[in-house]
Amino acid sequence: MDMRRRRLWPWAVAAASAALVAPSAASAQIIEIGDLGTDVSPSCPSSPCLAVNRTTGYQAKVGPRRGLMKVPRDGRIVAWTIRLAKPGPRQIAFFNQQQGGASSAQITILRTGTKLRARAVAQGELQQLEPYFGSTVQFALERSIPVKKDYVIALTVPTWAPALAIGLGNDTSWRASRARGSCDDNRTQTAQTEANQLAQYYCLYRTARLTYSATLVTDPEKPRTTTRRSSGA
């Protein structure tokens, strides 16, 4: 009996080793949603000098790429970036007077629904933009924002922002939180400035791009287990 146990013991060890599993490393990813690259420049001070004003918007399409501002995986938004033109003094004074004050913007997280409606589920802090005109600036969020896959990252501009590239192809377009019949109205305030607000993104503007992006840190994937194969008998 003892000899049988001794003979079975190496087999038992081999079987136990084969049953052991080792978790693979889980890692988060850093993804720039709506990455601008280096070839996108907003208008101003050239003429026409166009700006985003009194609305919330997101990029719908850039060439063949759709869903550019959709969150690809669950995670947290930790920062956002905006590329700003450098309007001249007269242009700045004009926009300040006509669009309700100094240039400002913030990031907004949307949960989209039917009939081009979207609800603002969270927002970053409002930032004053004039000190950064003529540059690309990144704003770290005071508190990161949890997001789910397929949420949309939008830019909210309660006043105005020189963050609009124009003269692009007809296959490039962005949407604004304006309802049917108000696409040419840039004086009425339509920006989603509070969480839980619902708006319709009916208005589509072609040949232009909003020059912003957002930094996502994805949730770590659950560890996968791998079975170790034993060389025992």
- pLDDT (tens digit per residue) in 92-131: 999 999 999 999 999 999 999 999 999 999 999 999 999 9
Q: Evaluate whether residue 199 is within a structural domain.
A: yes
Q: Evaluate whether residue 3 is within a structural domain.
A: no
Q: Could you tell me the residue range of the domain that residue 74 belongs to? A: 34-218
Model-level pTM greater than 0.85?
A: no
List, in order, residues 6 or more apart from 57 with CB less than 8 Å away: 154, 155, 157, 174, 175, 176, 177, 210
* pLDDT tens-digit series, residues 3-50: 333 333 333 333 333 334 444 456 889 999 999 887 889 999 988 899
Q: Evaluate whether residue 5 is within a structural domain.
A: no
Say which DSSP state 224 is in.
Answer: P
Amino acid identity, position 45 = P
CB-based contact 62:70 (threshold 8 Å): no
- Which phi and psi angles does 7 have, rounded to 5°? -70, -35
**What is the pLDDT, as a whole number, of residue 64?**
87
For residue 210, give the nearest of 53, 57, 17 by alpha carbon.
Answer: 57
Q: Evaluate whether residue 227 is within a structural domain.
A: no
- The more confidently predicted of residues 231 and 138 is 138
Q: What is the mean pLDDT of the chain?
A: 87
Q: Evaluate whether residue 151 is within a structural domain.
A: yes
Indicate the number of domains in the chain: 1
For residue 83, give the nearest of 53, 54, 110, 105 by alpha carbon.
Answer: 105
Would you say the C-alpha torsion 162, 53, 177, 198 has a positive or negative sign? positive
Q: Evaluate whether residue 212 is within a structural domain.
A: yes
Q: Evaluate whether residue 8 is within a structural domain.
A: no
**210: which 2 tokens?**
């909003």
List, in order, residues 6 or more apart from 153 with CB less than 8 Å away: 33, 34, 58, 69, 70, 71, 77, 80, 107, 108, 109, 110, 147, 214
Q: Evaluate whether residue 15 is within a structural domain.
A: no
